[in-house]
Amino acid sequence: MTDIRRTPPEAGTVSATPTRAPRTAWADNLKVVLVAGVIAAHVTMAWTGVGNWVFEEPPVREPLLTLLTLVAAVVSLFGLPLFFLLAGYFTPRSFERKGPQRFIADRALRLLVPMLAFIVLLSPWIEFVDPSNAGWTQGFWAFVPHVLWPPAAGPTWFLGVLFVLSAGYAVVRTRWPRRASAPLRLQHLLALAALVAVASWIVRLWVPLGEERWRLALGQSPGWLAGFALGVLAAERGWLPLERDLAGRIRHVAWAGLLLSVVTIAVSGPLGYAMELYLGGGTWQAALLAAAEGLIIATAPLWVVDLFQRRFDRQGPLGRRLSRSAFAAFLVHQGVLVGLVLGSREVGAIPEVSYLAVVTLGLAGSFGLGWLLTKLPGVRRIV
């Protein structure tokens, strides 16, 4: 996430020339959309009960509840892989420009330091007001050590995982230099879809969707790795922007996977299948959802990036400000949303009004506070 501010002048080009590349508007625009999506998704979790977040509020009513549930469930299947693909796409150039040691040091500064800042400065009070810790009676300062170890990274777990993947890339490319460019074929993506589906189904025998191990939703981890690897290969082999015919076929497969997942979720209730059957445990329902997810992960993120490269590669002054503050907004949004949710309880409005108010104010507050952080000396170098 932190490495998409400066991008290569030509998609897929990896140069060893130690010069700073110009900004690429499509990547900045996509970064803003993704961060805004994370903020909206966390609010949606609170008012629908889909996924795990800090609070669970009285749910919005129908038909909004069904609409938000379907959107949240489907987007969750490829949202994080898209984050990892975008990060992976800009990794090869950074590695070749900086070299292994400087590359790792820079990744540690831009990924681990912000994660540590969140753990130390924000997570103690966020966890303190978490209803799951409501039984604590010894006060805030006695509670802090229990949060710092094991650390509660909140949404910044993404930065820790990205650091591990980046370090792994550095080790691999130091040992095995990248190959020459090779064309992308649809069958390559279908093979990746099958691999992700099988890996997801196996991992979910141990960690079903919705559960965590080591504070991570490991049931989705095959998609994270696939997204990062796909981004790396797309950059190294010049796959983006996609050939127009291939882009059309990828789009069709992505929509087929999305439709399959929507139908799978929508018919589970009328057919009498508990949703838990689709989340893991070796059931055929879990295998069906993993197959749909594999198709989506292998195609939808590429399609979205290609779409932004072709259609959204321009920025005005507001777009530049939003993109500059997006990473900082990601870092602080959890705290902003927790404060807004607690405030909404005091107001006591109906769920739909509370939901819309927290989404709107959460977006404005997170990006506004993020913008202020980019103005602080020292902080601006990291965020």
DSSP state of 216: B
Give the pLDDT score at 23. 58
Query: Cis peptide leading into 155, omega within 30 of 0?
Result: no
pTM summary value: 0.89
Q: Read out DSSP for 64-107?
A: HHHHHHHHHHHHTTTHHHHHHHHHHHTHHHHHHHH-HHHHHHHH
Residues contacting residue 61 through CB under 8 Å, at least 6 positions apart:
351, 352
Render each residue's pLDDT in the chain as its tens digit; 383 residues: 544 433 443 333 334 444 444 458 999 999 999 999 999 999 999 999 887 888 999 999 999 998 998 888 888 889 999 999 999 999 999 999 999 999 999 999 999 999 999 999 999 999 999 888 877 878 888 888 888 887 888 999 999 999 999 999 999 999 988 877 788 999 999 999 999 999 999 999 999 988 888 888 899 999 999 999 999 999 999 999 999 999 999 999 999 999 888 888 778 878 778 888 888 888 999 999 999 999 999 999 999 999 999 999 999 999 999 999 999 999 999 999 999 999 999 998 999 999 999 999 999 999 999 999 999 988 888 88
Amino acid identity of 175? R
Vertex 307: Cα angle to 305 and 311 (nearest 5): 125
Give the pLDDT score at 2. 41
Cβ atoms within 10 A of the Cβ of 203, count?
A: 18
Residues contacting residue 147 through CB under 8 Å, at least 6 positions apart:
119, 123, 124, 127, 128
Give the pLDDT score at 118. 95
Round to the nearest angstrom and report the end-to-end CA distance of the chain.
10
- Residue 85: both structure tokens together: 């693909």
DSSP state of 134: T
Give the pLDDT score at 123. 92
Give the pLDDT score at 372. 96
Amino acid identity of 323? S
**Secondary element (H or E) of residue 329:** helix 317-347
